[in-house]
Structure 1
Amino acid sequence: MAVIRPIAAQDYEVWAVLFGGYAAFYQVQQSAQMRETVWSWLHDPAHELSGLIAFDAGGTAVGLAHYRPFARPLSATIGGWLDDLFVDPGARGEAIGKQLIAAVAAIGRERGWSVIRWLTAEDNYRARSSYDKIASKTKFLTYDLAL
């Protein structure tokens, strides 16, 4: 069982490695400035983004989750959006991702959120296999309009 807690100021180095691994997994070029921006959001009480970090029994950081609230006008509720979920490849298969999702869900329940929602790449079969066991796949497609 992983130890999961909110990301703290002393976690920058291990968080940066995990976040860099997440970017590499999705083949996204990420600069140090981009990481600094996200890090600043995570520590700005006025910003909506929050984060969790997971440690294995030996104290090694093995996963992260970034999440935030979002308005759901059709249901007149607030939901939780799981923006980023990453588990170090060496720790996969140990249910770290499920534990991080459960931790975000617990936060959502405490805050009265109606749902936790996330997306993943269509070809992320390993993760999808896990997600299919704990959540319902929606019928919606995602579109981006670059600005």
Structure 2
Amino acid sequence: MNTDNIEIRPATRDDRDAWEGLFRDYMVFYGCVDSESALDTTWGWIIDPDGPMECLLAVKDGQVVGLAQYRAVPETLTGSWFGHLDDLFVAPEARGAGVANSLMTKLGEVARDRGWFKLTWITAEDNATARRLYDQIANASDWVVYEQMLAD
């Protein structure tokens, strides 16, 4: 798989439209309601230099075709920081070209540069495509994720 023509770079203010198209598709993929509020809030987090989240974009043949949204997380048991990947998405037409792997490779470089001791992420149990990649680059954890919904 040739990934030479995939550029991975941080999102900038000028990327809003391209990012939004991908993020809307990501929301649909996970069955979320398309929400202008969620889009605006998430983009605000990404472009605010002091915001809680960052975003890497994958550009192939001049088109933004993938995103990886992540953040730093403190771990109390070690007094150290780690990175957490919140969202990874590749446009359907760019899948199978190494885009997701390129995003994960770059995110690993970011993590090492920042001194994070690990990266974490979750995915849906039935997301076989993503899990094939994840199983090649990481180990599934023994932790079980719980959710307590607090809003109606």
Same fold per TM (> 0.5)? yes
Q: Would you say 1:90 and 2:93 are equivalent positions?
A: yes
Supply the distance in 2 between the matched residues of 1:136 and 1:102 (Cα, whole angstroms).
15
Aligned ranges for residues 1-147 of structure 1 at < 5 Å?
A: 1=3, 2-56=6-60, 58-147=61-150
Gaps (5+ residues) in structure 2? Answer: none
Residue 8 of structure 1: how far off its partner (Å): 0.6
Gaps (5+ residues) in structure 1? Answer: none
Report the more deviating stretch, 41-50 or 62-71: 41-50
The residue identity in structure 1 corresponding to 2:59 is F
Q: Percent identity at matched positions?
A: 38
Supply the distance in 1 between the matched residues of 2:53 and 2:18 (Cα, whole angstroms).
18
* Two-structure CA RMSD over aligned residues (Å): 0.9
| TM-score, scaled to structure 2 | 0.93
Residue 97 of structure 1: how far off its partner (Å): 0.7
The residue identity in structure 2 corresponding to 1:122 is E
Residue 30 of structure 1: how far off its partner (Å): 2.3
